[in-house]
Amino acid sequence: MDFSLSRLRDFFISQKKNQTPQNSQISFPSDNFTKLEKILGTTINDKNIYVEAFIHRSYLEENDQFVISNERLEYLGDSVLNLVIGEFLFNKFPKEEEGFLTKVRAKMVNRNALSSVAENINIGDFIILSSNIPKSITHNSKSILADALEALIGALYLDKGIETCRSFIIKNIVDPILNEGEHLVDENYKSQLLELAQANKLANPVYHIVNEEGPHHDKTFTVQVMIADKVFGKGIGKSKKEAEQFAAKKALEKLQKQ
């Protein structure tokens, strides 16, 4: 069976034709499409698919059951994003090993990087949320912004194909990070902390969640890191992993001063 990228795209398009979403009934200002075309650098063919890309799942809680959220497009966009960036890095750094390529790709597709890109191109202005959620959250929630960007990439892929998607991803995600040299900065503070602790013959760091608050779609976690039963750092993040990294960063700063 041929599982080529073009066949995968054809499959998703055929699946969408068989669905009966009511997304076309959602209020989405016509000038938003003009703004989107400027952001994407191309014309829009299927308007409905872009509306879907911005429907947060919270909107479904108080609206028609046939409305489709952006989660499926987010899944597709994530796959396209990893493929495009993986291929780009493979060709860009022919002498680098798998470990380097994996780290650089992870830096480009993590929640912080994607939410920053989404914020730069004003994705938050388009997101459709439940009326119970303040509109301001779309500009402050890294998770919502990153997910919407991935969904937008999924929509762009279905609407215009892989080449248009590749141009958008490289221009807005890859090039800025490479030009700033951010791909060379090691932000795995947990790994650095473990190495430093072992080099100083200390116990391995242990992470504990000490607080978890906020609604399901926008939780905040507080984590503290301990070494030999002593707290060395505390971090707050929108995911457990993010909070652990911030805690490890604080612990590193404390240990390096000793």
pLDDT digits (tens, 9 = 90+) for 205-231: 999 999 999 887 778 999 999 999 899
pTM score above 0.85: no
Strands 230-237 and 220-227, sheet pairing: antiparallel
176 CB-near residues (< 8 Å, 6+ apart): 117
Determine the distance from the C-alpha atom of residue 146 to the mean position of all C-alpha atoms in its chain, rounded to a whole number: 4
Strands 206-213 and 220-227, sheet pairing: antiparallel
Query: Which residue numbers are catalytic?
Result: 78, 150
- CA separation for the pair 51, 24 (Å, rounded): 8
Residue type, 111: R
Residue 54: the pLDDT is 94
Nearest to residue 147, comparing CAs of 117, 177, 175? Answer: 117
Which helix (H) or strand (E) segment holds residue 33: the answer is: helix 30-40
Q: Name the token pair of 254.
A: 């404390």
**Domains in the chain, ordered, with CATH?**
5-184 (1.10.1520.10), 189-257 (3.30.160.20)
Residue 20: the pLDDT is 45
pLDDT digits (tens, 9 = 90+) for 2-43: 445 666 666 666 655 555 455 555 778 889 999 999 999 999
Q: Which of 19-33, 39-53, 90-104 has the highest mean pLDDT?
A: 39-53
- CA separation for the pair 90, 95 (Å, rounded): 9
